[in-house]
Structure formats: structure tokens, C-alpha cells
């Protein structure tokens, strides 16, 4: 005879499952608990957390709402979580901003809400509002590294003696700060010094920032070049599929996929397309990487590639998610730079998909990656020679994809575009099956949300200042040029 479990038993079981990284099972136990005690706010909160981890975003939002209605303590944190889901996963920046403002109504000194609302203001192109919010965060927490590090991104510094530079330098040089703080501050300092032409000092700041980033949050990160080469080898070996299954047509058109190296111009090209009245910018969607993580892990057997029913389900899952985020959108873009790794899967799921791949001068591209604070999931970005290795593997894989799907892959040269944009834009639109639209050359006037590191660059009229920027840093780049065989 089964002994009935008490709510306390269920709570302990659910929390343990959460700790063990078993969120699907934890969800089932939290739901049983809540069927017995439906007014338990912490259980609703934990259920929302587990649903978020399993990408059940609408369910997570509903669970967080129940936690709020049950009177959870620290409700501002719940509003923050709802805002992150709305902004990062569902593309609803205005709704996210409302959640953050609600959090600040409850606690005007809640720094995470100030920082996230500042970030949304940046994405929406409101530099003044972002600056006010970051400054407000610094008034609450004068040592806040993220708020201070964002300020130089909101304007171009022109004075080599701008007091913000000294403020950043002092904070970044404080060895008492944790590595993640010093990384944030170092990247901000590098940008400020680059603006005013103090290039050797800027390079030193970026170098220190990358070194700090390597140790932020735990053991020092190392890029496994051999493992990445094995992955590229396997992609080349697996695609084309020996006996490709017939995948049922999904019923809706796939987006235009824009990919390439980070910092190769993909955001710029998406904004060019988004200026067309028939196009909606999807931004950096994480949908394809999420499918790959579940179904094509590097050490897995990838049997799904030979299962037409499973592939059809993956295609439908992707398109259903897109429809949920962008209901009724016409031509959509999915601009995820590292989707270049997954072109074989994309073309298997969506045989008619168009792929736009951006490319740029190799040294400029690698240097720009080094100057960008990327996620710890990208350890190659912390060292110029590792970036060069990743770049070479990118080029190798793209050559393979072009041999397979050449007619459906269009490369856009960033440097050619900024030099003479109209011919490049005309070719791009023709490839995408879109009529010419002169507004595509005025992309910087768009007031849409831009959620990438290039958000301020693409709000400026077109210029070529970033082409050849590496020459300012030439004395530091001999090893990079040699690694790129230049």
C-alpha cells in the first residue's frame, strides 16, 4: 500500500530534483504539491523557475503570476524574472519594461531592475534614458561595475581627458574587485580609450578584461581547439546525409537565416533587411541552438538525422515557437551568428531555407571579437590565437556548406557594403526574393529593438571607420596575422 505523501514530503522531493538538474520531474512534483496547497507562493515560484529551464515560457509566466497573487516575499524579483523571459525569449520588450517598472514601484532601489530597464532602453535606442537608469543604479550602488561599464557605450568620447576614463581605469584596476567586475569594467575602459585614440592603452585594457573574464565565475576557461575541430570534422562527415529521410513539409515558410562570425556585420545586414516593409527582424533567436543541444550533442549518435518523423517534429517545434513570438509575421529573419555551425540541420529541416552569411576582413573580425565581452560559453573569444583558430574552422565549414547548398547561401561582404552599399543591398534583396526598397539604405532610422552588441553602431548612418581598424593595433597583432596565415 502506497503511503500518501504530505506537502512537506513533496516539497523536499521537488527541491531535491531541482538540485539534481531534473526540472521535468520537479515540475510534476511541484504540480502535485500545488494541487494540495494551491496558495503556496514559493512553490509557484519554484515551478516557474523549472518551467523556464525547460523552455515552457508561457507556463513560467503564469506560475510567476500565481506566486505574486499568493503574496510572495520580494515580489520585485518575480517581476524581474518575468521581464527577462518576456525580453529574451518572447521578444516582448514593452511588456518586459512594464514588469521592470512595476518592480521599481515596489522597490525603487532594486538595482537588477534598473540595470535591465537600462538595457532595454539601449535596445530601443534611447541612450538618454539608459544613461539615467545606469546613473541611478550607481547612486544606489556606487561600486556597481555593470552600470559603470555601460556608460561609455552610450556615447562616443572625444576628450582624451574625459573624467569617465579615469573613473573606469580606477575601478578596473582595483584588484579587490571580483574578476567578473574587472572584466566588465575593462571592456568599457577599452571602448572609451579606443574612442579617444589611446590605442595602446585600449589594447592593454581589452587584454586585461579578457584575462579577468577567463577566471570569472570559477576555474579558468580554456578553449578546446581539438574538440572544436572534431565537431567540424563530424559536420563535414555527416552532411550530406547518406540516405536523407523525406521530411514532411512544415506548412509555413522558414525565416531567412543570417549567420557568420560574431562581429562580421550580421546585425547590420539584418537591419538592412528589417527596413524593408515585408520583413520582420527576429534578432538572435536561440531556437536552433536549443534543438541542437537536445538532439545533436557533440558526443551523441545523431540518429535523429535519419528519422523523418523526428525531423518533422523538430521543424514544427521551431516554426511554432517563431509563430508564438512573432504571430502573423511575413518574412522573418533569424540572425544567430553561430547558426553557421547548423546549416546542415537547417537545410535538412527546411530545404527551401535561404542562408545569408556575413564575412569581413579577417584581422578586423578577429580583433573585434577580442574587444567584445562574449558569453563564457564562447571561451575561444578570450585569446586572439584561439579566435584565429575558430575563424579558420568557420571558413572551412562554410566552404563545405557552399559545396552542398551553394545556390541557397548568399555571402555578404561587410567591407564591400560599407564602401558602396547599394549594389550589395540590391543583390541581398534579390537573393531573398524581395523587391528593391530604397529605405533599406536608411536602416539606421529604424526605431525597432536591437538586442545585440552592435545596437549602437546600426543606429548610425553608414560609415567605414571599422574597416581597417586593426591598423591602429598593428604592433600587437603579429601573432594573430601569422595564425591567420596573412
Q: Residue range 444-456: average pLDDT?
A: 52
What integer pLDDT is reported at residue 245 of this predicted model?
A: 79
Q: Residue range 112-139: average pLDDT?
A: 94
Q: What is the DSSP string of 341-400?
A: GGHHHHHHH-TT--EEEEE--HHHHHHHHHTS---TT-GGGGSHHHHHHHHHHHHHHHHH
What integer pLDDT is reported at residue 461 of this predicted model?
A: 54
Q: Where in the chain is the domain with CATH 3.40.50.300?
A: 225-483
The span from the CA of 423 to the CA of 214, in Å, is: 42
What integer pLDDT is reported at residue 125 of this predicted model?
A: 84
Please list, in sequence order, all residues whose beta carbon lies within 8 angstroms of the beta carbon of residue 454, skipping any fewer than 6 positions away.
Answer: 263, 267, 268
- Say whether pLDDT at 418 is over 60: yes
What integer pLDDT is reported at residue 1 of this predicted model?
A: 35
What integer pLDDT is reported at residue 253 of this predicted model?
A: 84
Q: Residue range 468-484: average pLDDT?
A: 95
**End-to-end CA gap in the chain:** 75
CATH of 225-483, one of 3.50.50.60, 3.40.50.300, 3.40.630.30, 3.40.50.12780: 3.40.50.300
- Say whether pLDDT at 14 is over 50: yes
Q: Residue range 288-300: average pLDDT?
A: 93
The dihedral formed by the CA atoms of 340, 293, 368 and 160, expressed in degrees to the nearest 10: 150
Q: Residue range 412-434: average pLDDT?
A: 95
- Say whether pLDDT at 335 is over 90: yes
What integer pLDDT is reported at residue 449 of this predicted model?
A: 55
What integer pLDDT is reported at residue 50 of this predicted model?
A: 96
Q: Which of 89-93, 141-145, 470-474 is least confident?
A: 89-93
Q: Which residue has the higher pLDDT, 296 or 217?
A: 296
The span from the CA of 133 to the CA of 151, in Å, is: 10
- Say whether pLDDT at 354 is over 70: yes
What integer pLDDT is reported at residue 139 of this predicted model?
A: 97
The per-residue pLDDT for range 227-239, each reduced to its tens digit, is: 999 999 999 999 9
What mean pLDDT, rounded, does the chain reach? Answer: 92
What integer pLDDT is reported at residue 463 of this predicted model?
A: 54
Q: Which of 72-81, 101-110, 436-445 is least confident?
A: 436-445
Q: Residue range 386-393: average pLDDT?
A: 98
- Say whether pLDDT at 214 is over 80: yes
- Say whether pLDDT at 451 is over 70: no
Q: Residue range 313-324: average pLDDT?
A: 93
Amino acid at each position: 500500500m502506497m503511503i500518501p505523501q504530505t506537502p512537506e514530503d513533496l516539497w523536499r522531493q521537488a527541491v531535491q530534483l531541482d538540485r539534481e538538474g531534473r526540472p521535468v520531474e520537479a515540475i510534476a512534483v511541484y504540480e502535485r504539491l500545488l494541487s494540495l496547497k494551491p496558495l503556496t507562493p514559493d512553490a509557484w515560484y519554484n515551478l516557474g523557475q523549472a518551467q523556464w529551464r525547460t523552455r515552457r515560457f508561457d507556463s513560467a509566466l503564469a506560475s510567476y503570476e500565481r506566486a505574486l497573487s499568493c503574496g510572495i516575499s520580494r515580489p520585485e524579483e518575480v517581476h524581474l524574472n518575468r521581464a527577462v523571459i518576456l525580453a529574451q525569449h518572447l521578444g516582448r520588450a514593452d511588456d518586459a519594461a512594464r514588469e521592470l517598472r512595476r518592480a521599481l514601484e515596489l522597490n525603487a532601489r532594486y538595482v537588477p531592475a534598473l540595470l535591465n530597464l537600462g538595457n532595454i532602453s539601449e535596445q530601443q535606442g534611447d541612450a538618454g534614458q539608459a544613461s539615467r537608469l545606469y546613473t541611478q543604479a550607481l547612486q544606489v550602488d556606487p561600486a556597481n561595475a555593470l552600470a559603470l561599464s555601460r556608460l561609455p557605450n552610450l556615447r562616443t568620447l572625444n576628450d582624451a581627458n574625459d573624467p569617465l576614463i579615469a573613473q573606469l581605469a580606477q575601478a578596473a584596476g582595483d584588484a579587490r574587485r571580483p574578476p567578473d567586475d574587472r572584466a566588465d569594467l575593462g571592456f568599457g575602459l577599452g571602448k572609451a580609450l579606443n574612442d579617444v585614440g589611446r590605442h595602446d592603452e585600449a589594447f592593454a585594457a581589452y587584454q586585461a578584461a579578457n584575462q579577468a573574464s577567463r577566471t570569472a565565475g570559477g576555474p579558468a576557461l580554456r578553449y578546446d581547439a581539438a574538440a572544436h575541430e572534431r565537431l567540424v570534422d563530424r559536420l563535414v562527415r555527416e552532411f550530406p546525409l547518406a540516405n536523407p529521410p523525406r521530411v514532411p513539409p512544415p506548412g509555413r515558410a522558414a525565416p531567412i537565416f543570417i549567420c557568420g562570425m560574431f562581429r562580421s556585420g550580421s546585425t547590420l545586414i539584418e537591419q538592412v533587411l528589417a527596413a524593408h516593409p515585408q520583413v520582420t527582424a527576429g534578432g538572435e533567436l536561440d531556437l536552433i541552438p536549443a534543438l541542437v543541444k537536445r538532439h545533436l550533442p557533440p558526443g551523441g549518435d545523431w540518429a535523429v538525422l535519419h528519422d523523418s518523423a523526428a525531423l518533422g517534429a523538430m521543424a514544427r517545434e521551431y516554426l511554432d515557437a517563431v509563430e508564438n513570438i512573432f504571430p502573423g509575421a511575413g518574412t522573418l529573419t533569424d540572425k544567430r551568428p553561430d547558426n553557421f555551425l547548423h546549416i546542415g540541420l537547417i537545410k535538412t529541416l527546411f530545404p527551401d531555407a535561404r542562408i545569408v552569411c556575413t564575412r569581413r576582413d579577417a584581422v578586423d573580425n578577429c580583433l573585434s571579437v577580442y574587444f567584445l565581452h562574449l558569453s563564457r560559453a564562447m571561451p575561444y573569444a578570450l585569446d586572439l590565437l584561439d579566435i584565429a583558430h575558430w575563424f579558420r574552422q568557420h571558413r572551412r565549414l562554410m566552404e563545405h556548406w557552399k559545396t552542398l547548398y551553394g545556390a541557397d547561401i548568399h555571402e555578404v561582404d561587410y567591407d564591400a557594403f560599407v564602401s558602396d552599399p547599394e549594389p550589395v543591398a540590391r543583390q541581398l534583396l534579390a537573393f531573398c526574393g524581395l523587391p528593391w526598397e530604397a529605405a533599406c539604405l536608411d536602416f539606421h532610422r529604424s526605431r525597432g529593438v536591437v538586442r545585440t552588441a552592435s545596437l549602437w553602431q546600426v543606429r548610425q548612418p553608414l560609415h567605414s571607420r571599422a574597416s581597417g581598424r586593426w591598423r591602429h593595433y598593428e604592433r600587437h597583432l603579429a601573432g594573430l596575422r601569422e595564425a591567420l596565415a596573412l
